[in-house]
Structures are given as structure tokens and as C-alpha cells.
Amino acid sequence: HITLKESGPTLVKPTQTLTLTCTFSGFSLIASGAGVGWIRQPPGKALEWLALVYWDDNKRYSPSLKSRLTITKDTSKNQVVLTMTNMDPVDTATYYCAHNYDIFNYFDFWGQGTRVTVSS
Amino acid sequence: QSALTQPASVSGSPGQSITISCTGTSSDVGGYTYVSWYQQHPGKAPKLMIYDVNNRPSGVSNRFSGSKSGNTASLTISGLQAEDEADYYCSSYSPSSTQYVFGTGTKVTVL
């Protein structure tokens, strides 16, 4: 039974760095093929894929945000961390983490999401 | 990569069938069979409904089906029910760019 849960600050100031943690269970990022991705959704808007890390530490980033994003994994804690630098009010969104498998190419299990507001 | 294009809204009466389109390019939707669809109820996380164009995960009603023609993928909901009222998003993966892209989203209303 795969579950994921996001955690992090609900409010960040412009120019600050956002750090979000995805804690998961039911699978391991040591297992061949496993991956965890981050997707965000501004209020009333569409989903946007941000980043993905695989079991072998292969990482993928959205080209439009690549310069601001870093994704890392901690297999001992079953966690994936996403950092986003230079936050702006347009980054206000609900951030989701989701399970992925490198040969499946879709996100089959999602966390509940965590709402982040960027405001001074 | 630009977002895939979906109609903003689609509506239908209970029992009817509706189809949601998802238009991309030959670099994403048209080039591969890696199209998935997600259902999202208000305030909830997205739920995978279709993967690899036309496959349903275990537990998803067979009223949901997917297809693709050229650069456009489609999600059909048959026998529309009140519980189907939600937002729907398509997504495509491109092995050449190793990128995911989501659609603009479609609000389905059951009249």
C-alpha cells in the first residue's frame, strides 16, 4: 500500500528558498525503477510537472524551472526533498509529490498536497 | 514544452457520454503512447484514471476509456454519473526529452 505525504512551510517570503519534503511508504527508492516526482497547482489553475528523481539518482527537471529546482532523495528516511530558490508570489500553489516508475511513465499514487503561499 | 490543450469545460446529462480532447504535438502526444489522464475533485489530489493511452488501473470504472489519433488524445466517459463531476487533466511523457507535460484541464459538469 503506497502512501506519500508532503510537508513544509505554508508561508514563505519573496526571494526566499522553499524546501518541501515528501515522506513515503509502501515502496523503496532503492528498488529498481522506483521514482518520486513533484507537481504543483496554482489556485484555480492546471497541474505543472516540476521534477523527478529515480532510484538510481537520475534526475529530471522542468526546463522552465530547472535553474531554481533541486531534487534529492534520502533512502534511509524514505524521503524526497525539493528545494526551489528565489520564490515569487506566482509560485503560490499546492505542491504534490507522486510515485512514478521509470518504465510506466505516469504518476499512480499521489500525496494529499501541501499549500504554499508566497507573500511578504 | 507547452501545456497540452484541453477544452475548458464539457458537460453532459446523467447517462450520456462525453469526450474530452487533449492536443499536443508530434514530440509528445503524437509521438508516443505515454498519455495518461487524471481526475481531480475539488480540494483533492489527482487520481490516475487512464495510462498508456487506453489502460485503466485496477479499480477504475470501465465507463472511462481512452484513445489517441495523431497529436490528439481523448478521454471518454460513458454513462455519465454525478460523481464524475470533476476536473480532468491529460499528461504526456516524452522519452526524447525525458519531460512530463500536463494539459490545461477540463471541468466536467453533470447537468
What is the per-residue pLDDT for B54?
96
* Chain B residues with CB-CB distance to A66 below 8 A: none
Give how far B99 is from chain A: nearest CA, Å: 7
Q: Which residue ranges of chain A lie beneath pLDDT 70?
A: none
Q: What is the DSSP letter of B56?
A: P
Rounded to an integer, the average pLDDT of B90-103 is: 93
Q: Is A25 on the interface with B (CB under 8 A)?
A: no
In the predicted structure, residue B96 carries a pLDDT above the cut 80: yes
Q: Is B100 on the interface with A (CB under 8 A)?
A: yes
Q: How far is CA A22 from the centre of its chain?
A: 7
What is the per-residue pLDDT for B97?
87
Question: What helix, strand, coil percent values describe chain A, rounded to 5?
Answer: 5, 50, 40
Q: Is B3 on the interface with A (CB under 8 A)?
A: yes
CB contact under 8 A, A47 and B46: yes
Name which of B34, B45, B104 is nearest A110 (Cβ-Cβ): B45
Rounded distance, CA A92 to CA A78, Å?
26
What is the per-residue pLDDT for A106?
96
* Chain A residues with CB-CB distance to B89 below 8 A: 46-47
Rounded to an integer, the average pLDDT of B35-64 is: 97
Using a CB cutoff of 8 Å and minimum separation of 24, what contacts does A27-32 make?
A27/A2, A27/A99, A28/A55, A28/A75, A28/A78, A29/A53, A29/A54, A29/A55, A29/A73, A29/A75, A29/A78, A29/A80, A30/A55, A30/A75, A31/A55, A32/A56
In the predicted structure, residue B1 carries a pLDDT above the cut 80: no
